[in-house]
Structure formats: structure tokens, C-alpha cells
Structure 1
Amino acid sequence: MYTLYGTDESGSCMIEIALQRCAVPWHRVDASSWQDGEGSDALARINPLKQIPTLVTPNGQVLTESAAILIHLGLEYPKSELLAGDRAQILRGLLYIAANCYSAIGIIDYPQRWLGNADEVQQALLVSGTRRYLHQAWVVFADQFADQLFTPGNVPNALGIMAAAVSRWDDAREVLGNLAPGFAQSLERVDADPVVAPVFARHWPQWKVS
């Protein structure tokens, strides 16, 4: 059985969806770097950064980094179709989100990790500048990867799942709705997928799609 360390409203939602698509047994341990408890203590023992999602395979291998986990599952379980489509562009897109979007969100959420004891004005400047970069990165993503979110059978692939999840933070969907409305509609199609929708609803019960 797979063990997934994560919590609601986090990137662990992507791996929950992927594990369901792979039709494998799994369970989630509630844990994160911002929570105290047995789950977070257990997470720290296998991932000192306490980053989520962290996935432990049935043979005890520890996997971190959302893009890497999605790629591994897609390769391990090809019938899941997580990597179905133009694989080169799917892999490129997954790494694009990890490098440009996910990393920016970390700076926005925790500016003190980069600035130390800097005052609130400096932290606010870093946050606002990073958010501008994040939104521009999403607009570029929309231009580059609009046709790569679904399998040939019109099911969200790993890139569609990751894009729909990570774009839920820091007003990215609102920006895309204004600047790339067609792409925003594609993300809503991912949201509505029968496997994706209940997971997102559990993680973000108050979410309202415009």
C-alpha cells in the first residue's frame, strides 16, 4: 500500500487524484511543515524538509516533489494515462510548473525564509514582486501548454491535474480568466472531471469557480 503524507488545500490533492487513477491501494497521513502531531513527526523522519506531498511506495521507497511523483506513477502505471498525450511536452510542463509557479508560491507564503529578519516593508515588496512573476508565468504557461492538459481521450493527464491544482493559489485563476480565458475554461474542465472533482471539493469546500 502507498502512504501519502499531506493535508487539505495542499499539493497532496494531485497525488490523491493520481493514485485513484492508478487504481492502487493507498492511505493518507495528515502531515505538513505547519502542523504539529504524529503525522508531521513521521514525515520529518523521512523528509527533513517536511515538504508535502511525500509518497512512500509499497516497497518503502520515499518519493518527494509533486512533478517527480506524478511522472513516476505515470510510468509505473501506464493504464492510468497520466502521461498520455505528447509526453515530451507533458514532462516539460510539469517541470515548468514546479520551477516557475510552485517555487514562487513558496516565496509568497514564506518570504522570511529568503529575507531572514528583514522588516515587513521588504517582505511585502518581495511578496508583491513574486506574485507578479507568478501571474506572468501562468500567462506564459497558458500560451505554451494550452493543448497539453488532456489525453487523446479527453481525460485530464498529469499536466492538467497539476495545472488545475497549483493555479488555485494566489489569484492565478482570476488572472487567467482575464488574460487567457480559453485556458481558464480548460482548467475548469479539469475541475469537473469525475475523478478530480470530488478530491478538489474535499480540499477546497468553499471554492467557487467563476
Structure 2
Amino acid sequence: MYTLYGTDESGSCMIEIALQRCAVPWHRVDASSWHEGEGSEALARINPLKQIPTLVTPDGQVLTESAAILIHLGLEFPDANLLAGNRAQILRGLLYIAANCYSAIGIIDYPQRWLGDAGESLQTQLTTGTRRYLHQAWVVFADQFADQLFTPDNIPNALGIMAAAVSRWDEGREVLRSLAPGFAHALERVDADPVVAPVFARHWPQWQVS
């Protein structure tokens, strides 16, 4: 059985969706770096950074980094079609999100990790500039990857799942609705997928599409 360490409103939602698509037994241990408890203590023992999602495979391998986990599951379970489509562009897109969007959100959420005890003014300057970069990165992503979110059978692939999840943070969707409305609509199609929708609803019960 797979063991997924994560919590609601986090990147673990992507891996929950992927595991369901793979039709494998799994369970989630509630854990994160910002919550204390047995789950977080167990997570720290296998991932000292306490990053989520962290996935432990049935043979005991520890997998971290959302893009890497999605790629592993896509290769391990090809019938799940997580990598179906233009695989080169799907892989490129997954790493694009990890490098440009996910990483920027980490800076916005935790500026003190980079600035230490710097004053509030400097932290605000960093988060404001990083958020500006994040939103521009989403606009570029929309231009580059608009046709890569679905399998040939119109099922969200790993890139569609990751884009739909990560764009929910830090006003990504609002920016895309304004500057790339066609792409925002494609993300809403991912949201509505019958496997994706219940997971997102559990993670973001108050989410409303405007």
C-alpha cells in the first residue's frame, strides 16, 4: 500500500488524484511542516524538510517533489494515462510549474526562509515582487502549454492536474481569467473531471469559480 503524507489545501491533492487514477491502494497520513502531531513527526523521520506531498511506495521507497511523484506514477502505471499526450511537453510543463510557480509560492508563503530576521518592509518587498513574477509565469505557461492539459481522450493528464491545483494559490486563477480566459476555462474543465472534482472539493470546500 502507498502512504501519502499531506494535508488539505496542499499539493498532496495532486497525488491523491493520481493514485486514484492508478487504482492502487493508498492511505493518507495528515502531516505538514506547519502542523504538530504524530503524522508530522513521522514525516520528519523520512523527509527532514517535512515537505508535502511525500509518498512512500509499497516497497519502502520515499518519493518527494510533486512533479517527480507524478512522473513516477505515470511511468509505473501507464494505463492511468497520466503522461498521455505529448510526453516531452508534459514533462517540460511539470518541471516548469515546479521551478517557476511552486517555488515562487514557497517564497511568498515563507519569506523569512530567505531573509531571516529582515524587517517587515523588506519581506513585503520580496513577496510583492515574487507574486508579480508568479503571475507572469502563469501567463507564459498559458501561452506555452494551452494544448497539453488533456490526454487524447480529453481526460486531464498529470500536467492538467498539477496546473489546476497549483494555480489555485496566490490569485493564479484570477490572473488567468483576466489575461488568459481561454486557458482559465481549460483549467475549469480539469476541475470538473469526475475524479478531480471530489478531491478538490474536499481540499477547498469554500472554493467558488467566479
Scaled by the length of structure 1, what TM-score is found? 1.00
For residues 69 and 50 of structure 2, the distance between their equivalents in structure 1, rounded to whole angstroms, comes to 16
Instruction: Tell me the C-alpha RMSD between the 2 structures.
Output: 0.2
TM-superposed deviation, 1:203: 0.1
TM-superposed deviation, 1:83: 0.1
TM-superposed deviation, 1:70: 0.1
Instruction: State whether structure 2 residue 58 is matched by structure 1 residue 58.
Output: yes
2:90 alignment partner in structure 1:
90
TM-superposed deviation, 1:146: 0.2
Number of residue pairs aligned between Structure 1 and Structure 2: 210
Q: Secondary structure at the match of 2:63?
A: strand
Instruction: State whether structure 2 residue 38 is matched by structure 1 residue 34.
Output: no
State the identity %: 88
Letter in 1 for 2:162: M
TM-superposed deviation, 1:87: 0.1
Matches within 5 A, 1:6-155: 6-155=6-155
Matches within 5 A, 1:149-188: 149-188=149-188
TM-superposed deviation, 1:128: 0.3
Scaled by the length of structure 2, what TM-score is found? 1.00
TM-superposed deviation, 1:89: 0.1
Runs of 5+ unmatched residues, structure 1:
none
For residues 69 and 116 of structure 1, the distance between their equivalents in structure 2, rounded to whole angstroms, comes to 31
For residues 119 and 15 of structure 2, the distance between their equivalents in structure 1, rounded to whole angstroms, comes to 37
Letter in 1 for 2:112: Q
Q: Secondary structure at the match of 1:113?
A: helix
For residues 199 and 170 of structure 1, the distance between their equivalents in structure 2, rounded to whole angstroms, comes to 20
Runs of 5+ unmatched residues, structure 2:
none
TM-superposed deviation, 1:140: 0.1
Letter in 2 for 1:60: G
TM-superposed deviation, 1:100: 0.1
